[in-house]
Amino acid sequence: MDTLLILPKNEAEQTAVKAFCQALKVAYEEEPEAENYNPEFVAKVKRSEEDFKAGRVHKINLDEIWK
């Protein structure tokens, strides 16, 4: 049997797909999105988000990038 990968675009679609599978008694597994990525990469992204929220950023004007 083949495996189907369903990619809902939003929470409403995800809820509808789950309800559909449950109604038809079709088994499904949920995998958190972050698990699709290397854990080291995810940690770096989270650190970057924390730095941004804390104001530890350097803003560069696009005109200055090519100088």
Give the helix ranges, DSSP H, for the chain: 11-23, 39-53, 62-65
In a domain, 6, yes or no: no
In a domain, 61, yes or no: yes
In a domain, 22, yes or no: no
Residue-level pLDDT at 59: 86
Structural domain tally of the chain? Answer: 1
In a domain, 19, yes or no: no
Give the whole-angstrom CA distance, residue 51 versus residue 46.
Answer: 9
pLDDT digits (tens, 9 = 90+) for 21-52: 999 999 998 877 766 778 899 899 999 999 99
In a domain, 15, yes or no: no
How wide is the angle at C-alpha 47 spanned by C-alphas 60 and 36, nearest 5°? 110
> Which residue range forms the structural domain that includes residue 63?
30-67
Residue with the bigger pLDDT between 47 and 67: it is 47
Identity of the amino acid at 48 = S
